[in-house]
Structure 1
Amino acid sequence: MVSAVILLFSLGSCQDYLDVEPEDKLSGEQMYRNVFDADAAVVGIYGKFMGLAEKYVILNEMRADLMTTTRNSSPALKELSNHNVSIANPYISPKDFYVVIQNCNDALANFDMMLAKKRFTQSQYDQRYADVACLRSWVYLQLGIHFGSVPYITEPINNLEDVKNISKYPRLPFDQLLDKLVTFTESLTYKDIYDTQSSLRITVDGYDTMKFFINKECLLGDLQLWKGNYLSAASHYKNVMESTPTSGANSYDYYRVRIPDVVNNDDLAVGYRRDYETDATSLVDSNTKGWRSIFARDRDIMWNTEWIWSLPFDSDFAPANPFIAIFSKTAGDYLAKPSQSAMDRWNSNTSRFGYPYDARGPKFTYKMVGTDPVIMKYIYKFEAAADQFKREGDWFLYRAAKLHLRYAEAANRDNQQKVAFAVLNQGLKETYTIYNPDGTIPTDVTNIQQTKLGFPYDFDARQGDAPNYRAPWHRSVGVRGRARLISVGAIGDDVITTENNIINEAALELAYEGNRWEDLVRIARRRNDPSYLANKIYDKLSKEGNAEADNVKAKLMNPANWYLPFNW
C-alpha cells in the first residue's frame, strides 16, 4: 500500500505509462487488477495534471489585468497580455488539457470494468471514480473559460488528434458545456474527500495527501456559481466551510479565516509587533508567521486551516517547479511582474492603523528587487532554501480566503447581502453585534452575533461570558479583517456595488493564484456587460503606455474575442 502512495508524492512516477500511445499500452484487464493499480492510475493522472500548472497561472493572470510582461518576456507572453495571439503561441494549445482528459476517461472506463468484475469494493470505486471525474470536470471548466466552445468527450479515444476533428467531436458552446458539467458532477454519489481508511490517505515524508486531491464541493460550488444557481453554490461552499478539521486543527479556525494573534503573531494575518502597530517597520514579514506564511510555511497545522487544495513541487521528483523561472529575478528568467494597475489597487486601500496601502500587495505578494517589482508568492520557499538546486514550491489551487469570497459572491446574488458584507469585511461577530448606546458590546450576547437564518446562511459567532458562549464562528474575522483593512461598502448596498467590492477583494487577496481572468469573465457574462472586462484590461495596458490599449478595449467589447482559437 505504501509504495502506491509514495508514487503520489512524486506525482510523476506513472507518467511513463500515461505517455505511451493507447495501442502500445497493456490492456485494462492487465493494468487494473486491484485497488492499488487503481491508486497508481489516480497518481499518474495527477502527475499529468501538474503539467498544467504553468498554463493555468499564465492564462488566468497574464490575460487579465494584474500581471504584465517584463523586458525579458517572450513574444508568446506579450501576445497574451495584448490579446493578439498567433496560432504558434505555445500557451494557447488545448492539447495538454485533453491529454489529462484522455487519461481520466481511460481510468474511469477501467474503474467501471473493475467494479463489474468485483476487483474492488463499491466504496473504493465511488471514491476514486468521483475524484477522477471531478478532476476532469475541473479541466473542462478551464477549457470553457479560455476557449469558449470545446468538444466534450467522456470516453477514451484511439487518437488524440481526432479531438480537432469537428465532424467527429462537435464543439459545445460554453453555456451548454456548463450544463453538462453541472448535471454530471452533481450526479456523482460521493462528494467528500477520500475517507481516512483509503489507501490514498496517508502522510508521506511530511506530506498529508488529503490536500493533494481536488475538493469536490468547492468544484461544485464553482460550477453552480458559473451557472447562476446561487443557493446551490452557497450550499456547496458552506459544506466546505463547516468541514471536520484535520488532526490537530482547532475547529474554530479550520477554513474560518481566523482572528489575528496580536500577542505572538502565530497566525495567517497581516500583523505588527504588539504595541508597535503604528510603526510600519514592525510589520511581521516571515515564512512562519503572518500573512506571508500562507505561501511559505511548512504544511503544518496552521497551513491546513487555510489550504484546501495545493500540489507540491519537490526538487527530487518530476515535474519540475515552473514558477521560479517565471517569477524570480535572481535565479529565474523574470518573465512576469505585477501590473501598475494591480499595484495601484493595493495602494488605494487604507489599513486600520492608517497606512495608505494594503500590505498584502507591496509587502508580501510582490517586493521591489532593485527597481523591479517581483511576484513573491511562488518563490518564498525557494529563496528560504538558499540553494539553487532546492527548487521546492507549490501550485496554489484553493484556500479558505478564496472559499469565503466565492461564498460571499453567491450569497450576495442570493439576496443575502449582509452575510456577504460580513464575510468580505470584519466577520460575522462584528457585523451581527447590536451595540449598546455607548458603543459597548452587551454583556449578554444570547440574541446577537448570529444570523438567525437557515442553511447555508446560518452562522453563530457569539462570544460572551455571562452567559458563556464560544460559538463555532466566534474567531472568524472576515477577509479584510484578517488583512487589517477598514471595511468597504456598507450594509444595505445594492447587489452590483457589493459584487464589485467582492471581486476587487479577490484581486487583492488572491492575486497571481490563477483566478483573475475567470473572475472577470464570470462577472462580465453574468451582467451581459463586456465593458466590465474590457475596461480593466484597458486600464492595465494604458498605464503601461501600450499603444494598442484602445484597440484591445474595442476588441474585448465583443465577447467572442475573450476566447482563444481552438487548435494545436
Structure 2
Amino acid sequence: MKKILPYVLTGLLTLGGLSSCQDFFELESEQVLFVDDLKLNTVNDTVYSVIGIINRLQQVADKTVLLGEIRSDLISLTDKADLELQALATFTAGTNNLYNRPQDYYAIINNCNYFIANADTALRKRNEPVFLKEYAAVKAFRAWTYLQLAKIYGSVPFVIEPIEKEKQTNIALYEKKDMAALCDFFIEDIKPFINTDLPGYGNIGGLNSTKFFIPVRLLLGDLCLWAGRYMESALYYHDYLTNRNRPMPLGTNQIAWRSNTNTFDGYINDSYAGLFTDVSGQEIISYIPMEANRFEGTISELRNIFNSTLDNDYYYQAKPSNAFISLSKQQSNCKIYLNEATQVRDTIYAPSENIFNEFWVGDLRLYSIYRRQYVGNSSLSSYSTDRQTIQKIGRHVPIYRRGTVYLRYAEALNRTGFPSAAFAILKYGLTEENIVKYVDSMEVKTASGTGLLDWDVNLFTATNTMGIHSRGAGVADANKQYVLPAMANKTDSILYVENLISDELALETAFEGQRFYDLMRIALRRNDHAYLANKVAGRDGASNFNQALYNKLMDVSQWYLPLNN
C-alpha cells in the first residue's frame, strides 16, 4: 500500500532520544535543517511540516494507549507479557522503561513550537489567511500532547518556544506546570481557533486526511473536563455534537438479541464491531494514521500485544481482566419480544448464565469485539494453541470517536448539576422528545438559555439516536432494572450517575487507552484515592484482590511515571 506519510519533518528541529539522565532534551544535529531566520511561508514548507508533525505523533500512538490501558482495571497480562509491560501493570516502571519516553512527546512539542514561531500567519490570499488552518491544527497538536504528558507524569517542564541550541536543553531552565495550570493555559491558547476549519489535503494513502487532525472544540471539552470547568466542558461537547452543518447523532449500531424470538440462544444481530473496522466511517472522528508495514515507516504494535498474530507466534500479552468480564456479565440485558401470532409486545430479560457461550451474558459489547479460540498444533509447533483477537485493535490509533464524546458530555453534564439529563444519554439518548419525557423539569428549566439541552428536533430523532447503553445491553430504554432511583439529594444523584458513567466508559471504550485516566480523573475529582486503588487492585477479581497494589496506589504519586530530573 502507498505510504501514508511520505514526507519527513522537513526542516523542523526535533528532540531525540536520551543518551543520559541529564539530557532530558537532546537535539539531533543531523535533523537541524533550518537556518535561524527561515520562515514557513510557502505551501510546501507548511504542508510538509504539518505532515511531519503527524509523523511524530506516530511515535507516541502505541505508548499513549498502553499507558492508559495496561495500568487500568480492565486488562490483565499473560505470562508472555514482556518485562516492560509487567512493570507498567505493577506500577514499578522506572525511567528506563521502554514506554517511559517523555522525549517522544517533547519531540512533537518542539516541532509544534517551531512551526508556531515560524509560520507566516500574516500571509493572505483573497484577504484570507493562507495558513490559519495549519496554525490552529498545530496549536491543537501541542495542547493535546501536553495533556497526555500531564496525565502520564502529573507535572512536566513547560516549553512553548522552540529549542534550537544545546544550551537550551537543560531541564532546570524550565518551570514545571501541573494539569490545572496546563489546562488553563491551553484553553486560552486554542480557544481563538474554535471555529477554524481543520486542514484537509485530500486522500493520503487512501485515507481522508482531515481525520488526522484534532477538533479544537473537542479538545477544549477535554481540557475543561480535567480542569473541573464542567459547564464549559459540557457546552463544548454539546456544541460539537449538535453543529447544524455537521450533526453527530450517536446512531443505532448495537449488538443485541433478535426481537423475533423469546429465547437467548444465539440469535444475535451485531452492527457494533463494524464501528471500529473502518476509520473512514462516521464513528471515528480523529485518529493517528499508521503505516501498513515496517518498510513504509512506523506501524502500530498494538496488534502484537493484544492479538494473536504470526509475528508473536500467536502468543498475546494482554487480555480482558476478570473484573472487566465480571462487569460485562453483571449488566442487565433485555429485549422487546413481538409475538407475531398475537402482535403483543413484551419486555423479556436475558438469563444471567448461557450454556452456549459464556459471553452471551449481560452486556454483549465484549462478545462483539473479543474472540478467543483454541486450535490444534503438532507437538513440534512453536505456535500458541490459545489465540485471541480484539477487533477494536487495528492498523490506526483513534483519538476521538462518537461514543467517547457522548460519554464525556454525560460526565461533564452530570457534574454541572444535570444528573437526570446525563442518565438520559445512557438510557434513552437525547432528543427533544426524550428530554421532555425523561429529564427532570427543574434541570430543563435551569438549562434554559444555556444551550446545554438544545437538540434540534429534525436532526436528532428516534431513528438515529438511542441511549449509549443500548449499544450492548439490549433495549435500555425499556429496562426497568436500569434506572436512576430517587436519592436523598442531588449530590447523591450525581455520584450515582457518575458511577454508571464510569461503568459505561469501561464497557464502551475498553482497549482504547482511556480507562486508567478516566479512573484518575474521577478519583481526583472526588478526592478519593481509594476509588482508583480499589478498581486497579481488583482487576483479577474479588478473590484475587491485590492488597499490596492497593496500598501502593493510595499514594497518588504512584499513579504517575517517574520523570528524569
Q: TM-score range by the shorter chain?
A: 0.7 to 0.9
User: Which residue is 1:349 aligned to?
Assistant: 331
The 2-side partners of 1:143 and 1:298 are apart by: 26
1:243 deviates by 3.0
The 2-side partners of 1:92 and 1:161 are apart by: 24
1:457 deviates by 2.2
The 1-side partners of 2:166 and 2:75 are apart by: 33
User: Which residue is 1:441 aligned to?
Assistant: none
The 2-side partners of 1:161 and 1:556 are apart by: 38
1:70/1:336 contact within 8 Å kept: yes
Q: AA paired with 1:351?
A: N
Pick from 399, 417, 420: which aligns with 1:418? 420
Q: AA paired with 2:564?
A: N
The 1-side partners of 2:205 and 2:174 are apart by: 44
Q: AA paired with 1:34?
A: T
User: Which residue is 1:376 aligned to?
Assistant: 390
Is 1:324 the equivalent of 2:308?
A: no
2:371/2:388 contact within 8 Å kept: yes
Corresponding residue SS for 2:235 = helix
2:153/2:562 contact within 8 Å kept: yes
Matches within 5 A, 1:59-74: 59-74=67-82
For structure 1, which runs of at least 5 residues remain unmatched after alignment? 1-5, 247-253, 260-267, 382-392, 436-446, 463-469
2:369/2:392 contact within 8 Å kept: no
Corresponding residue SS for 2:303 = helix
The 2-side partners of 1:121 and 1:80 are apart by: 52
The 2-side partners of 1:376 and 1:39 are apart by: 35
The 2-side partners of 1:160 and 1:351 are apart by: 61
Is 1:551 the equivalent of 2:548?
A: yes
22-31 or 126-135, which moves further after superposition? 22-31
Distance of aligned partners of 1:472 and 1:375 in 2 relative to their CA distance in 1, 3 Å threshold? same
RMSD of aligned alpha carbons: 3.1
1:183 deviates by 2.8
Is 1:134 the equivalent of 2:131?
A: no
Pick from 443, 448, 470: which aligns with 1:481? 470
User: Which residue is 2:121 aligned to?
Assistant: 115
The 2-side partners of 1:567 and 1:22 are apart by: 25
Is 1:335 the equivalent of 2:340?
A: no
Identical aligned residues as a percent: 28
The 2-side partners of 1:400 and 1:72 are apart by: 34
Q: Deviations over 1:31-68 (max 9, x none)?
A: 72412321111111011112111101110001111112
Q: AA paired with 1:256?
A: P
Matches within 5 A, 1:140-539: 140-158=146-164, 165-186=170-191, 188-194=192-198, 200-204=200-204, 206-244=206-244, 254-259=247-252, 268-273=253-258, 275-276=260-261, 278-285=263-270, 290-297=271-278, 299=280, 303-304=281-282, 306-315=283-292, 317-333=296-312, 334-353=316-335, 354-355=349-350, 356=352, 357-370=361-374, 374=388, 376-379=390-393, 393-429=395-431, 431-432=434-435, 434=437, 453-460=448-455, 470=458, 472-474=460-462, 475-485=464-474, 486=476, 488-490=482-484, 493=487, 494-539=493-538
The 2-side partners of 1:216 and 1:277 are apart by: 47
For structure 2, which runs of at least 5 residues remain unmatched after alignment? 15-27, 336-348, 353-360, 375-384, 488-492
Distance of aligned partners of 1:550 and 1:46 in 2 relative to their CA distance in 1, 3 Å threshold? same
1:280 deviates by 3.9
The 2-side partners of 1:53 and 1:161 are apart by: 30
Q: AA paired with 2:430?
A: L
User: Which residue is 1:466 aligned to?
Assistant: none
1:69 deviates by 1.1
The 1-side partners of 2:112 and 2:544 are apart by: 45
1:12/1:47 contact within 8 Å kept: no
Corresponding residue SS for 1:89 = coil
- Name the count of aligned residue pairs: 497
Q: Deviations over 1:404-439 (max 9, x none)?
A: 11001111111111210111112235744649xxxx
Corresponding residue SS for 1:308 = strand
Q: AA paired with 1:453?
A: S
Corresponding residue SS for 1:551 = helix
2:84/2:99 contact within 8 Å kept: yes
User: Which residue is 1:262 aligned to?
Assistant: none
User: Which residue is 2:90 aligned to?
Assistant: 82
Q: Deviations over 1:69-107 (max 9, x none)?
A: 111111111111111123321111211111111111111
Normalised TM-score (structure 1):
0.80
1:123 deviates by 2.9
1:535/1:553 contact within 8 Å kept: yes
Corresponding residue SS for 1:68 = strand
The 2-side partners of 1:118 and 1:98 are apart by: 31
2:68/2:514 contact within 8 Å kept: yes
Is 1:38 the equivalent of 2:19?
A: no
Normalised TM-score (structure 2):
0.80
Corresponding residue SS for 2:400 = strand
1:428/1:459 contact within 8 Å kept: no
The 1-side partners of 2:151 and 2:121 are apart by: 34
